[in-house]
Chain A
Amino acid sequence: MLSQTVRPREITLDHHALTMAMAEPEAPFSDAPVYAPEAAGVLLLLALLSPREPKEPKDL
C-alpha cells in the first residue's frame, strides 16, 4: 500500500526545480544544415578524382 510506504506531508518538492523541469524550452541553437558555397568545389574535386568505372576483361 502506498500510504504505508510514503506518508503525506513527509516529502516536500522543490518548487524552483519543478518549474525548471516543466519549462521544456526549445533547443537554443538550430542544427539545420546550412548552405556552404565552398563545398561545391570540394564536391567537384571529389567527382573528378573518383576512380573510373571498371571495364570488362577482354581475355575472357
Chain B
Amino acid sequence: MVAAHVESAQDPGAALAAIRILGADTFAPVVLAGAPLHPEDAAAIALAFSALPPGRDVPLPPPAGPEGPWLMAWRDWGTVTLLTVLTGRGGARLTAPRPALPADAAPADDAAGWAEWSVRMGQLSTLALPGLDGPVHDAARRSPLALARGATRAVLRRDYPTAARIARWLAWLRSDGVRLPLDAGPLVEHIGLLAGGDRPALDTAISRRLIAL
C-alpha cells in the first residue's frame, strides 16, 4: 500500500517523509484489521529511515531538552519496534533508541499539569496501537483520569485534532481493559462527527477499531 504510493509519487522524498510522519500507524491495517504486511511496504518504511536515520544519541525529555526531537525519537521507536515485531528479527535491520520519559511522566488524579501532559500524550498517539507497549503506555495506564480530562478539555476548546489524538489513548486503554472515567465510544463518535481533516479521520478510525477489539 505505502510502497505503491512511493512508487507512483511525483516526489518520492515527500512520500517517504509522509511514511515517517505516519509512523507506526502505517501498520494499523495489519494490527487492527488483520491485513498482511507486504514485504514491499516494509521495504518502503526501511527506505524512509535510510533517508534520515534516527540519531544514535537519545534526546533528553522536556523540559531538559527540546520537545520536537524527543517526540520524533518516540515515534521512530514505535515504528521500528512494530516493524521488528511484524517482520521478525530477520526483516528490516533498523534500530531506534528508546527515549526516556520526563520525571512527571503521569500526573496523579489530584495533581495539576494534566492539561499539558494530556496534550503531550496526544502527540505520542501513534504509539497507541496493539503490539506496542512501553513506558508511555504505562503512563497512560496510570492516569486515565488525566487523559479523560484532557480529551474533554480539547472538545470544549473545539480543538478536535487534539481531542482525536487524546481520545485514541482512551480507546487504547479500553482495549487494554483499563476502567475509564468516561465512555470512550460516544466521545470518539462525537469527535468523528465534528473533526475535519485526514489525520483526525485516521485517529478516529483507529479509535473505533480499538474500541471494537
Which residues does A use to contact B, with CB under 8 Å? Answer: 1-3, 5-6, 8-9, 11-15, 17-27, 30-32
Contacts and interface: CB of A to CB of B under 8 A. Distances in A.
A24 to B, nearest CB: 5
Interface residues of B, number: 36
B158 A31 contact: yes
Given A18-B72, A19-B68, A13 B51 contact: yes
Given A11-B12, A22-B71, A32 B17 contact: no
Contact of A25 (B48, B52, B123): B123
A19 B69 contact: yes
Contact of B123 (A1, A8, A20, A24): A24
A23 B123 contact: yes
Contacts of A27: 157-159, 161-162
Contacts of A30: 156-159
A2 B158 contact: no
Contacts of B161: 24, 27
B119 interface: yes
Given A5-B12, A13-B52, A22 B67 contact: no
B47 interface: yes
B206 interface: no
B180 interface: no
B154 interface: yes
B7 A5 contact: yes
B159 A31 contact: yes
6 interchain residue pairs of minimum CB distance? A31-B158, A13-B52, A19-B68, A30-B157, A27-B159, A26-B162
